[in-house]
Amino acid sequence: MRRIPRKRRGERNRFFQAEGVDEMLSCMLRLTAEVSALKDRLYIAEKVLEQQGLTMSSAIEAYQFSEAEEAELASSRQRMIETILAQLDASPDVEDMTDENSKITEAA
């Protein structure tokens, strides 16, 4: 059985030799955790509303956001992007990636 070598306190273990692979996997795991939490909360919200006799599928499809709601969602989206990309924070390309994501979001 292969043993994982111990590192000094504060150093991260490296599992892949290729540069950036460990960081990308960490980002993917953070994103997966976020999506999982959101799915659980949405499931619970749907069940609570169903118990109260409300179905939300059609209401969600017809909902129109106000400008304030759109701004709040954009801010929340930016925080999520920063959280997920935090592992890559040492990389100079992170700001370019978040700026590019903001441009894509604004265009949508």
* pLDDT tens digits, one per residue of 66-107: 999 999 999 999 998 888 777 666 554 545 555 655 665 566
Q: Which amino acid is at 93?
A: D
Domain range enclosing 48: 21-107
Asked whether residue 9 is domain-assigned, the answer is no
Question: What residues contact 13, with CB distance under 8 A and at least 6 apart?
Answer: 4, 5, 7
Asked whether residue 79 is domain-assigned, the answer is yes
pLDDT bin (cut points 50, 70, 90) of residue 36 is very high
Asked whether residue 97 is domain-assigned, the answer is yes
Total domains, the chain: 1
Question: What residues contact 42, with CB distance under 8 A and at least 6 apart?
Answer: none
Asked whether residue 15 is domain-assigned, the answer is no
Asked whether residue 6 is domain-assigned, the answer is no
Give pLDDT, residue 102: 61
